[in-house]
Amino acid sequence: MKYIIASDIHGSAHWCRKLVENFKREGADRLLLLGDLLYHGPRNPLPQEYDPMAVAAMLNEPELYSMGVRGNCDAEIDQVVLSFPMFCDYALLAYGKRSIVLSHGHIFSPESLPPMKKGDVFISGHIHVPVCYEKDGVLCLNPGSVSIPKEDSVNSYLSFEDGLFQWKDMEGNVYKEYRLED
């Protein structure tokens, strides 16, 4: 099972298209979205080719098997135009003995974790900066932002397969990786 994990598309059809191209090129099984999908938000400039309707249509493609969690820029009406669940505050993945918790990052975050065991993984977006560090035995990851990278980071997504997390730029080049130990 290969997951593509991506966050903070913020309505950019240009960067969403590249994300979908990478998903297909990688032969991934499911797209996991960490929120802030359709709108730019008042703290961000308009991203390249801002087109929320086009982004919704792309993310609705059945072959992506998209699932999401809600970001702070996502509105209730978005669930009407998106064909996959995206309005929960978190999602839980089982991976061997570990739990992987996905959340946008404005409610639960590395600074405000839900109950986690040592060895669990917490993945969030929101800050638009890729991160990978351990905090109190919990691995905290952030794929960065698809469309509006901050702090000199690149437009980015994360893949996860067989215990290996890989951060990639929008050309699909790996620039960081982390392997879960058994």
Cβ proximity of 143 and 156 under 8 Å: yes
Minimum CB–partner distance for residue 27 and Mn ion (Å)? 28
- Which 30-89 positions form the footprint of Mn ion (CB under 5 A)? 36
- Closest-CA residue to 138 (of 80, 98, 179): 98
Residue 47 or 140: the one with the smaller Cβ distance to Mn ion is 47
Residues 6+ positions from 87 with CB-CB distance below 8 Å: 70, 74, 76, 78, 79
For the CB of residue 106, give the shortest distance to Mn ion in the complex, in Å: 9
Neighbouring C-alpha atoms within 13 Å toward the C-beta of 6: 30
> Distance (Å, rounded) from C-alpha 179 to C-alpha 182?
9
Min dist. Cβ of residue 57 to Mn ion (A): 21
Compute the distance between CA of residue 147 and CA of residue 60 in angstroms, rounded to an integer.
Answer: 18
Give Cβ neighbours of residue 117 (< 8 Å, ≥ 6 apart).
Answer: 98, 99, 137
When the beta carbons of 36 and 78 are compared against Mn ion, the nearer one is 36
Shortest spacing between CB 35 and Mn ion, in angstroms: 7
Q: By Cβ distance, which residue is nearest to Mn ion?
A: 36
Using CB under 5 A, count the residues that bind Mn ion: 2
Nearer to Mn ion, 8 or 78 (CB): 8
Q: Are 127 and 105 in contact (CB under 8 A)?
A: yes
Residue 18 or 47 with smaller CB distance to Mn ion:
47
- Kindly identify the residues of this chain, within the stretch 86-125, that bind Mn ion according to CB under 5 A: none
Neighbours of 137 (CB within 10 A): 10
Question: Which residue stretch of 5-13, 52-60, 130-138, 167-175 sits at the interface with Mn ion (rule: CB under 5 A)?
Answer: 5-13
Q: Please, which residue, 99 or 146, has the CB nearer to Mn ion?
A: 146
Q: Name the strand (E) or helix (H) holding 92.
A: strand 90-95
Residue 8 near Mn ion by CB under 5 A: yes
Stretch in the footprint of Mn ion (CB under 5 A) among 1-9, 52-60, 152-160, 173-181:
1-9
**Residues at the interface with Mn ion (CB under 5 A):** 8, 36
